[in-house]
Amino acid sequence: MTLETVKALSDAELSQVITWAQDEVKTRTERRRQEAIATIKSLAAQNNLNVSIAGTRGRPAGTKPAGKAEKPPEPIRR
């Protein structure tokens, strides 16, 4: 799809294309994730290891990464 083709779309058509594209990105992302998990499990099995992949990515909200100290408060100047 070229830029000219996109510019020629009506608002409704453009919205539909955007929806389809967002869905496709989600599908591809999930497929890559599943392929990576399968690869990890396969490699682990080849080396007689057991792996468990579960949960959500990242750290829980409101937590800070380890090793970063909080910045001390600025002194009050009068």
| Domain spans of the chain, in order of start | 10-46
pTM over 0.85: no
Structure-model confidence comparison of residues 48 and 73, the more confident one = 48
pLDDT per residue over 40-64, tens digit each? 999 999 999 988 887 666 666 666 6
pLDDT at 45: 93
DSSP states of 1-70:
--HHHHHHS-HHHHHHHHHHHHHHHHHHHHHHHHHHHHHHHHHHHHTT------S-SS--TT---TTPPP
